[in-house]
Structure 1
């Protein structure tokens, strides 16, 4: 990978900018400000996540926001309330308070003398979720979003449940956030109050898994923040991105199908990562595509980005399953619209050892019942639902396991 640092605009980084919330809590932001904003205000791009800008996402932030800022944008990376150097306590994902804070941040950005009043929002995973959720609330300064590796359905297509079952990722993700929430803010940035901020987090954030397991049906808890409950609430342009090795691929197709706004979809071979850092490869020059997207919707420049097909997807070549890949061979395909007119549904029937067209099934040769065998060892080769393209994340050859279980495929 080649990293560029020679951009059209010089950039100044402000490590700890305080953004006040209506209730008096102060959130911490890192801002990449192009020097041209001193003479003429520029659009702002917000990424709003809990992964500690000081070090948790620092390398990715510097690469991504440094590039965008170098092309004439004020890039703002905010620690969610109760994370990083922001005050308060983070008690769960996508709380109403988080979304209200997001609205206040957007209003604050639009009011700065270096911002021209146009705001975009982008993010991967959590940042993609709340970009969709805040877009549905329709703050006036928010003009477009880019959501990567995110879902419009928190119950049926997220890290918690799949097919009515609790995912193993549910536990691992709860553990990750428990660790993040247990970390102190940086005394170098927040000063002597760091200890009080830390103790407040330790006492108040809790272990989220307990809360999640209380809600194993599609109830109001999961409907909150699921924009699939009303796709029409989103009235600004959306770029939706994922990868075949990611857990959130399905959401791209749903968003393209159900949104009634200018939209684009991109699916590569990647796992849970931005496409310019994409693994498995090949990665792409995604930052250049982002500049085209933002130039079109935030600066009014005709970049041609909306003249291109609605969906661009990497069609992977068939190969033996592995638990990790460095590259996935294949080729790009484009669909002018989604759903595609070239795709038609096809029904299959389950038969012993194979799939068949419904008319080919001979009931006389099918058993009336099948026994189910599912030893506890079955599933070890299944991989993670949401892969990060590291180690044995992806599904391996499962034929041996299939022999010890009833299989529907």
Structure 2
């Protein structure tokens, strides 16, 4: 394998980005697998993310097998597992990150144009066949959705692996409620890989160079060379042009793609992978949903085989049967953390038996029979654990796979209320089933959120199983009046065994796992208590005078509150 370090790529405004090119050691031309992102192309996975790397190779030794692992990096492919199979791997440090200079502005249009120009550069090099595919997790997936709408001529295929597509609804404001993740992520990232950290940064274990470039800038200069990302988002609580600039434009995406999601990504990426598959204009598109940690299946033999089959077909033109691959590939979850692989022909699954479970807040039960009397139950929004309503024991093994929605009626003693809707499964002894999430090891079965003042629906995009809120026209509550809320609960999958129960919790705060908190080294001490770093606890966004009242859940025979579940026969 040949490695070209710090190859210059000049952008249209004169800024020179830096890329590493890993290619076969000959003079032939090969298809290109490209990534563009902020995590430092020269920072080793093991050094930058030691907890994640250690667990990955302990649980899945195949990841480290067959490679020296010298070039393994966070959320991008290992070139030692791609170059021998006839691919060129191009890793670009995004503007302002790693060894690329420039102003940091995550997922901005400037970055989108940079990525487009990198694709076109890679498609015209002497070692390139002219076909470029994009591959990577998270940040490296999100910008795939963005740049695909620009339709660069040399872009032949995408694999957005666990990547959100709606900046407002999936990263910044869940159901209109501000998510704290942006600050945790940005603080950690700029402190480790912003260009100009110089001697304060990591040193590449492979080439001995400083991961963030040769110059060491002052902290004042570093701050001046980046946007105040959390403040930008905090100042835009509605879905405006800032958020839309950083979101996918699905109707313009026509390139073939494989959208790979994670059931455990129920606070960031999963919705984007599903929405991309459902809404993009591409005629050749596939959806795959797996489980385990956010980074795991990308690097396992399972993930790499999937990625190569797709790219072999679209980048190399091989007749390997991919064009006959069913469009939906699901790893159905079981309560013991295992999976059952199955293919489908569409999403949501056509044979879904959409089943309304009726909420009985007074008795804290869910029933398939509608209520015959008026009922209500109340909780203190910021201090009580809320109301949990539970089904009878399942009479047979029951699969729930697909999007979920709740229609509820609430009143508040204040002018607004935040609703956290949590889908649970309990075993016959009453113990909650929690599964490995994308980040947090103790994740509930499903989650949804809605700020009551953001209840307005977009009728053109809403379906019974996926309410779509405008988030542009907040309507405060009149204390004591009853309002209908249609809550989107992100897609889920679980086989609920005989005797287990399904439950819906309505609360005014984040779900919390009752056992000990977990930690990951790259989150620098953040406690993971069931929702990972995706909490909604900033008091500036949730002042008690507005969100700390008493919330009452209502149901009546004429206006029954419901939980719509996708039962799969």
Give the structure 1 partner of residue 9 of structure 2. Answer: 19
Give the structure 2 partner of residue 259 of structure 1. Answer: 280
Give the structure 2 partner of residue 308 of structure 1. Answer: 325
CA distance 1:336–1:329, change in 2 (3 Å): same
* Distance apart, 1:162 and its partner CA: 0.9
**Deviation per CA, 1:283-342, whole angstroms, max 9, x where unpaired?**
5521122111111111111111221211111111125xxxxxxxx223112112223211
* Distance apart, 1:264 and its partner CA: 1.2
* Distance apart, 1:125 and its partner CA: 0.6
SS of alignment partner, residue 103 of structure 1:
helix
Q: Give yes or no for the alignment of 1:272 onto 2:260.
A: no
Q: Give yes or no for the alignment of 1:121 onto 2:141.
A: no
Mean Cα displacement is larger for which, 48-57 or 202-211?
A: 202-211
Give the structure 1 partner of residue 150 of structure 2. Answer: 137
* Distance apart, 1:203 and its partner CA: 2.6
CA distance in 1 between counterparts of 2:126 and 2:77 reads 25
**Deviation per CA, 1:12-47, whole angstroms, max 9, x where unpaired?**
1222211111222111111111124x1x21111110
After superposition, where does 1:8-407 map in structure 2 within 5 Å?
11-36=1-26, 38=27, 40-55=28-43, 57=45, 59-60=72-73, 64-90=78-104, 92-158=105-171, 160-179=172-191, 180-181=193-194, 184-185=197-198, 188=209, 194-195=215-216, 200-227=221-248, 230-246=249-265, 247-261=268-282, 262-277=284-299, 284-319=301-336, 328-352=337-361, 353-357=364-368, 359-364=369-374, 366-367=375-376, 370-375=378-383, 388-389=438-439, 397=513
* Distance apart, 1:373 and its partner CA: 4.5
Bigger fraction of residues in strand: 2
CA distance 1:406–1:93, change in 2 (3 Å): farther
Report 1 or 2 for greater relative contact order, CA contacts < 8 Å, sequence distance ≥ 6. 2
CA distance 1:22–1:301, change in 2 (3 Å): same
* Distance apart, 1:254 and its partner CA: 1.8
SS of alignment partner, residue 89 of structure 2:
strand
CA distance 1:290–1:197, change in 2 (3 Å): farther
**Deviation per CA, 1:67-91, whole angstroms, max 9, x where unpaired?**
122211111000001100011121x
CA distance 1:331–1:190, change in 2 (3 Å): closer
CA distance 1:329–1:183, change in 2 (3 Å): farther
Give the structure 2 partner of residue 324 of structure 1. Answer: none
Report how many aligned residue pairs link the two structures.
Answer: 371
Q: TM-score, normalised by structure 2?
A: 0.59
CA distance 1:121–1:191, change in 2 (3 Å): closer
* Distance apart, 1:406 and its partner CA: 7.5
CA RMSD of aligned residues (A): 3.3
CA contact (8 A) 1:89 1:200 kept: no
Bigger fraction of residues in helix: 1
CA distance in 2 between counterparts of 1:259 and 1:28 reads 31
CA distance 1:232–1:347, change in 2 (3 Å): same
Mean Cα displacement is larger for which, 24-33 or 333-342?
A: 333-342
Q: Where in structure 1 are there 5+ consecutive unaligned residues? A: 1-10, 278-282, 320-327
Mean Cα displacement is larger for which, 75-84 or 255-264?
A: 255-264
CA contact (8 A) 2:260 2:287 kept: yes
Q: TM-score, normalised by structure 1?
A: 0.80
SS of alignment partner, residue 293 of structure 1:
helix
Q: Where in structure 2 are there 5+ consecutive unaligned residues? A: 46-70, 387-419, 425-435, 445-510, 516-528, 530-549, 554-560, 564-569
**Deviation per CA, 1:154-173, whole angstroms, max 9, x where unpaired?**
11122x22121112323312
CA contact (8 A) 1:308 1:336 kept: no
SS of alignment partner, residue 83 of structure 1:
coil
CA distance in 2 between counterparts of 1:303 and 1:314 reads 22
CA distance 1:393–1:56, change in 2 (3 Å): farther
CA distance in 2 between counterparts of 1:268 and 1:192 reads 36
SS of alignment partner, residue 346 of structure 1:
strand
CA distance in 2 between counterparts of 1:14 and 1:198 reads 31
CA distance in 1 between counterparts of 2:135 and 2:4 reads 19
